[in-house]
Amino acid sequence: MNKTYFLFAVIALGVLGLGIVFAGAGFLTYIDWASALVILFTTAALLVCSFRLREIGSYFAAAFRGRGADTSTLKKGIGFFLAMQRYLIISAVLATMIGIIALLSVLGDPTYVSKGLALALLSILYAVTLILVVALPFRTSLERKLAEAEGFAGTAQQGSA
């Protein structure tokens, strides 16, 4: 992963922002603390239960470093970001179900229906955004580095034969 990642992440988020503006809604419409809390807390809790904190830091560092991470760390990092992607999807489904249940429980009062619907839909938006901006690029970076490392190991073995 190189420095251009941040540039393209900002561009992607900017395009998302333009979509919000062109949709005619304000930015505050897309901020829902309950959705963010469910997505971030559930995903983080599942990741911490599955991986040690020191390992998590090393996987992010391996994605940013040039070469130098061993293949074991790269493979485990790929597994970590794949797990992050899956946990984000699971968290979005959970938050969507919570939002739909909240929506159905207050169906007679339209002022509260929108809160349940916002929780349901914005949680999916937050999860997909985090997958596209964090999980996929970091995993792809580690996969590319692993392919390079295994390619170099393969050519070194062929040269010694």
Q: Which amino acid is at 118?
A: A
Residue with tokens 């580095």: 145
Residue with tokens 């930015």: 27
Convert the pLDDT of each residue in 87-115 to its tens digit.
999 999 999 999 899 888 888 887 778 88
- Residue-level pLDDT at 153: 59
Q: Which amino acid is at 156?
A: A
36 belongs to a structural domain: yes
The average confidence (pLDDT) of the chain is 86
Rounded distance between C-alpha atoms, residue 141 and residue 6, angstroms: 13
- Residue-level pLDDT at 1: 62
131 belongs to a structural domain: yes
- Residue-level pLDDT at 152: 65
Residue with tokens 């692993």: 146
pTM over 0.85: no
State which residues form the domain around 46. 32-160
- Residue-level pLDDT at 69: 78
Give the E-state strand segments of 90-132 in sequence order. Answer: none
87 belongs to a structural domain: yes
* Residue 136 and residue 88 in contact, taking contact as beta carbons nearer than 8 Å: no
76 belongs to a structural domain: yes
- Residue-level pLDDT at 129: 92
97 belongs to a structural domain: yes
Total domains present in the chain: 1
The SS3 assignment for 39 reads helix
15 belongs to a structural domain: no
20 belongs to a structural domain: no
Which has the higher per-residue pLDDT, 8 or 52?
A: 52
Which has the higher per-residue pLDDT, 155 or 83?
A: 83
Overall average pLDDT of the 25-49 stretch = 90
Convert the pLDDT of each residue in 55-88 to its tens digit.
999 999 998 886 677 889 999 999 999 999 999 9
